[in-house]
Amino acid sequence: MVTEKIGRTLLVATAVALGCSAMVSLAIHYLRPIQEAYAQLERNRTVLAAAGELPEELSDRQVVTGYLELDIRLVDMARGIFVDAAAVGKIHTYDHWALEEGSPLLLRPEGEPAPHQPTLASRYVPVYLVWKGQTLHRLVLPVHGKGMWSTIYAYLALQGDLSTIAAMHVYRHGETPGIGDRIEDQRWLSTWAGKRVYDDAGRSRFTLTKDASDSPYSVDLITGASVTSEALGNIVRFWMGPQGYGPLLQALREKKETI
Ligand SMILES: Cc1cc2nc3c(=O)[nH]c(=O)nc-3n(C[C@H](O)[C@H](O)[C@H](O)COP(=O)(O)O)c2cc1C
């Protein structure tokens, strides 16, 4: 009699456990597209913020319409030129950061990557052109690489001269709350605006230093979070260099590549 009761209890407990895990799995399965859509919305909000000249607080609807109106171009990072967006399908939903290992669209950097360098990078990267009339006002470039604990993802906006920083927006990272996450501090990020990446000869000069006040090419390190802030500077240097957007930007400045 007692054995029968224990058996029934176990049966009921197992059925409840199986039912609950099935419900959790279904919830994860059906909620994933919604989570991904929200992640994309937030990413696109950051792109619009980096594009500038937009209201501080954009509604979700404004983000969707604003993003669809952006002039998005696709860069072939292997050749440093713009290519037809059809290479990646729908450009407005293409997320080069979401490519998974094994994707034919990924490039593996040659040799041992530098500590801040991404170990995998997309061959095709979407960049965003902001126009004022016929003049290029900003070019928004996605950048990413290793921080102290995590991969940092950001958007760097250059002015129309393709050298001066217009804005820097950190989009995603996993640095320590209260320490490394100070790279999101708007006051600190605003000090990036107006700093130059290249000198007049086209040499990359950008650095993060302890006292950047006198340098047109430098931003202050964050005291107490030097490792993460320096990593962000290294990420920008990498992407502005020969393995990043350097060749494209140079070709654009020298009018060898046209927009
Ligand atoms: C638990 C722990 C987490 C830390 N997280 C970070 C971090 O996310 N980013 C960072 O730059 N420094 C972090 N630090 C501090 C660094 O180890 C280092 O002391 C600091 O970046 C140096 O900055 P300073 O040269 O301005 O003193 C952390 C320290 C500890 C103990």
Query: Across-strand partners of 71?
Result: 129
Pocket test for ligand 1, best of 116, 149, 176 (most atoms within 8 A of CB): 176
Indicate which atom in ligand 1 lies nearest the CA of residue 223. Answer: 26
The model's pTM is: 0.88
The pLDDT score that the predictor gives to residue 194 is 96
Q: How confident is the prediction along the chain (259 residues), in pLDDT tens digits per residue?
A: 677 788 889 999 999 999 989 998 888 888 888 888 888 899 999 999 999 866 667 889 999 999 999 999 999 998 999 999 988 988 988 999 989 888 888 887 777 777 778 877 899 999 999 999 999 999 999 999 999 999 999 999 999 999 999 999 999 999 999 999 999 999 999 999 999 999 998 899 999 999 998 899 999 999 999 999 999 999 999 999 998 999 999 999 888 888 7
- The CA-CA-CA angle for residues 188, 63, 124, to 5°, reads 80
Listed by start position, the domains of the chain span 1-69, 70-253
Cβ < 6 Å from ligand 1: which residues?
148-149, 175-176, 179-180, 223-228
CA nearest 73: which of 87, 63, 56?
87
CA nearest 160: which of 248, 80, 252, 44?
252
| Residue closest by Cα to atom 10 of ligand 1 | 225
Contact 155, 43 (CB under 8 A): no
| Residue closest by Cα to atom 11 of ligand 1 | 225
| Residue closest by Cα to atom 5 of ligand 1 | 176
The pLDDT score that the predictor gives to residue 1 is 63
Alpha-carbon torsion 94, 97, 100, 104, what sign? Answer: positive
Distance CA 80, CA 173 (A): 27
Contact 159, 193 (CB under 8 A): no
Q: What's the CA-to-centroid distance between 230 and ligand 1, angstroms?
A: 11
| Residue closest by Cα to atom 3 of ligand 1 | 176
Pocket test for ligand 1, best of 188, 226, 229 (most atoms within 8 A of CB): 226
